Amino acid sequence: MNLDSCIAACLDCHRTCLATVAHCIGLGGHHAEPGHIRIMMDCAQICAVSADFMIRGSAHHPHLCAECAEICRECEKSCAGHPDADAAMRACAEACRRCAEECGKMARPRGH
C-alpha cells in the first residue's frame, strides 16, 4: 500500500471529475443529464474527502477509501459508457479507474 500514490490518484480524480462536470454542462443535452453530473460530483467530493483523511493520517481512511473506490467505479462506468463519450470523458473514466484501483488497495472492510 502506497499512501502517497493513493492521495495523488484521489486528488487527480477530484480535479478531473470537476473539470469534466464543467465540460459536460457546457456541451449540454444528454451530457448534462442530472444522474451523470451527480455521480461525477459525488466522485469528486469523496476523492477530496478521502485524500484529506489520508493526508491527516486519520484512522478512518480505510473505510472512506472503500466507499471512494465504489463511487469511482460507478463514475468510470458513467463516463466511459456515456453516448458520444469524448476525450474529456474518457480521461475522466481513466482517472476514476486509477483512483478506484489505488483506493481499493487502501480499503478495509467496515468493522475491521
| Residues 39, 100: Cα–Cα separation, whole Å | 14
pLDDT at 2: 87
**Whether residue 100 has pLDDT greater than 90:** yes
Calculate the alpha carbon distances from 103 to 1, 28, 33 in Å. 9, 31, 27
Which amino acid does the sequence have at 79?
C
Specify the 3-state DSSP secondary structure of 108. coil
pTM here is: 0.93
Closest C-alpha to 49, from 24, 29, 67: 67
Whether the predicted pLDDT of 110 surpasses 80: no
Distance CA 49, CA 83 (A): 30
* Domain range summary for the chain, segments of one domain joined by +: 3-106
- The cell for 47 is 476523492
Domain spanning 3-106, CATH architecture: Up-down Bundle (1.20)
- If you average pLDDT over every residue of the chain, what do you get? 93
